[in-house]
Amino acid sequence: MRYHVGDEKIASGPKSLADGWPGLKGTTFAPGISAACSVPGKPTSLYLFKGDQYVLYSVRDEKITDGPKSLASVWGVDGVFANGVDDACRVPGGTGDLYFFKGDQYVRVR
């Protein structure tokens, strides 16, 4: 679903991920993702995560602008995080860092 924060209402949906995000059609991300978070310094872009991969997705242009890339090779995560994340979010305060969560563990990445 798309939720409009200003109106505090559901803007559209529910839809399949590929129908709501046309740039994902035909990719391994179309059936579903495990996490998403905003990109520091790019207000119209999101990181989308699935398995051990992620893509940079432009919401404005409705397309993947970078990736898929390996979490381990780009952010240097290892252990359980090299196989994927359950969730991700930006660090409050504008540092540009992200938190990755997997089960009962987390890691802060830059």
Please name the residue ranges forming H helices in the chain.
17-20, 71-75
pTM here? 0.85
pLDDT over threshold 90, residue 78 = no
Specify the higher pLDDT residue, 61 or 2: 61
pLDDT over threshold 90, residue 23 = yes
- Domains of the chain, first to last: 23-109 (2.110.10.10)
- Distance from C-alpha of 23 to C-alpha of 3, rounded to nearest angstrom: 19
pLDDT over threshold 80, residue 35 = yes
What are the tens digits of pLDDT across the range 8-17? 888 777 778 8
Least confident of 28-37, 66-75, 85-94: 85-94
Give the strand order in the sheet containing 35-39. 35-39, 42-50, 53-58, 63-70
